[in-house]
Amino acid sequence: MKKKIAAVIALILLICITATGCAEADQVSYNISKEADNFNVTRKLTVLNARTDTILLELTGTFALKNNSDNELEVIIETADNKYQKDYVYLNDYTMYVVEDISGSAVDKYHYEINFLPEFGLKATYSD
């Protein structure tokens, strides 16, 4: 049991040491992206045709974005408390999109979180 506790403490220290080597901007960027993906930031998505300068879509609200391998932009929109909708925007050679952070993000550059998920059955092996 003591070996397991020591291993967990060593893992936490290793993660802390590794995290302190990051640039300040990297940590802030990560925290802002996490807040946006957790629907805590109001953003504006604009999709436009780059050849004709025509705006094809505008969306303002709390949403998360995923770029999948099929040249599609997956938009997960929070429409009400605990209610979500998923839309897709097809991207081709002539379309582009811009995402603006409307509300701003109050994030802590020193914040990090460690989650141990026992349901995945993570096991460490040790030898004496």
What does the mean pLDDT of the chain come to?
A: 76
How far out from the chain centre does Cα 86 lie? 16
Provide the residue count of the chain: 128
Comparing 7-11, 52-56, 115-119, 120-124, the range with the smallest average pLDDT is: 120-124
Nearest partner of 83 among 99, 65, 102, 63, judged by Cα: 63
What is the per-residue pLDDT for 126? 47
Per-residue pLDDT of 56-72, as tens digits, reads 889 888 899 988 877 89
DSSP for 51-86, please give it.
TTTEEEEEEEESEEEEE-TTSEEEEEEEEETTEEEE
Question: Can you tell me the mean pLDDT for 105-124?
Answer: 57
Per-residue pLDDT of 2-13, as tens digits, reads 666 666 676 675
Amino acid identity of residue 124, one-letter, is A
